[in-house]
Amino acid sequence: EPEVTQTPSHQVTQMGQEVILRCVPISNHLYFYWYRQILGQKVEFLVSFYNNEISEKSEIFDDQFSVERPDGSNFTLKIRSTKLEDSAMYFCASNVGALNEQFFGPGTRLTVL
Amino acid sequence: GESVGLHLPTLSVQEGDNSIINCAYSNSASDYFIWYKQESGKGPQFIIDIRSNMDKRQGQRVTVLLNKTVKHLSLQIAATQPGDSAVYFCAENIAPSGSARQLTFGSGTQLTVLP
C-alpha cells in the first residue's frame, strides 16, 4: 500500500540553525501539506501546496518557513533560523484531491536546543 | 474563532464494549468532517469521514454520526479492542479563503481499552 514517508525521523538542532524536513508524498497525489504537533497538543495546519505554489498558510507559517517541491517526488519544509518553540512533531500529508482523504506520514520530531 | 473541540480528554472502556467519542464544532458552514486515530509516535491515521449532506456513515466497526442542528459529531467504535487504544481526533476539512482546503483538528480524546 502506498504511503507518505518522511526523513529524518528525529532531528536535533541548535537554536538559530536551519533545518530541512523532507517528505515523499504518495506518487499520484497532487495536494501536499505540512502540519505540526507540539507535544501533548493538537495537530495544527501550517501550509498547503498545489501546482507548485502555496495554496494556503497559517499564522504559524511566517517568513522563517518555506516549502519546496524540488523534483517530482520530494516535498520539503525549511525553517531558516530555528527557535526553541519550533520543537514539535512535523507531519507531511498528501491527497489526490482537495476533498479526498489526507494521508499522513509518520512525522519528524524536531528538537531545538 | 471557529474551532473543533472535544468534550472529554480521556475515555476508558472494557474490551468488547462499545466506545463513543464526541466532538463539537462551531462553524456552521463546515461541510466535511473526518475522524483520525493517532497511536503513540505515529502520524494521524484516517478512520472515517462524513460530509454535511449525510447524518450517518458506517465503516468496519465504526460509525460516525453528524448532527448539524447542534453542530456535534460522534465516533462509535463497536466491540472495542486493545488495538483501538489511541488518541482520536475529529477534524474539519475547511476552506477558509474559499479555495484551498486544510484540516482543523480538535484537541483529541485518549481512548484506553481495559482488559
Q: Residue B2: what pLDDT?
A: 39
Cβ <8 Å between A101 and B108:
no
Report the greatest alpha carbon distance in chain A. Answer: 38
> How close A14 comes to chain B (CA, Å)?
23
A105 close to A23: Cβ distance less than 8 angstroms: yes
Long-range interactions of B45-48: CB distance < 8 A, separation 24+:
B45/A104, B46/A101, B46/A102, B46/A103, B47/B75, B47/B88, B48/B75
Of residues B32, B45, B97, nearest to A99 (C-beta):
B32
Dihedral angle over CA of A56, A62, A63, A64, nearest 10: -120
Residue A95 CB-half CA count within 13 A: 16
Query: What is the DSSP pairing of strand B109-114 with strand A31-37?
Result: unpaired
A103, A109, B1, B5: CA torsion to nearest 10? 70
Residue A44 to residue B10: CA distance in whole angstroms: 20
CB proximity A41 to B under 8 Å:
yes
User: Rounded to an integer, what distance in angstroms lies between the CA atom of residue A77 and that of residue A99?
Assistant: 23
Using the predicted structure, report yes or no on whether residue B94 has a pLDDT greater than 90: no
Local confidence pLDDT in tens for the 113 residues of chain A: 889 999 999 999 999 999 999 999 999 999 999 999 998 888 999 999 999 999 999 999 999 999 999 888 999 999 999 999 999 999 999 999 888 889 999 999 999 99
State the nearest Cα–Cα gap between A82 and chain B, in angstroms.
22
Cell of B9: 480528554
By Cβ distance, the residue of B41, B49, B100 closest to A101 is: B49
Report the C-alpha gap between A32 and A104 in whole angstroms: 10
Where does the pLDDT of residue B1 fall: very low under 50, low under 70, confident under 90, or very high at 90 and above? very low
What residues in B contact A44, CB-CB < 8 Å? 105
Q: A53 is written with which cell numbers? A: 505554489
Residues in chain B, overall count: 115
The residue count for chain A: 113
Pick left, alpha or beta for residue B16 (phi over 0 → left; psi -120 to 50 → alpha; otherwise beta). left
Please write the tens of the pLDDT for every residue from B3-39: 455 445 899 999 999 999 999 988 888 889 999 999 9
pLDDT number for residue B4: 57
| Number of Cβ within a 10 Å radius of residue A72 | 6
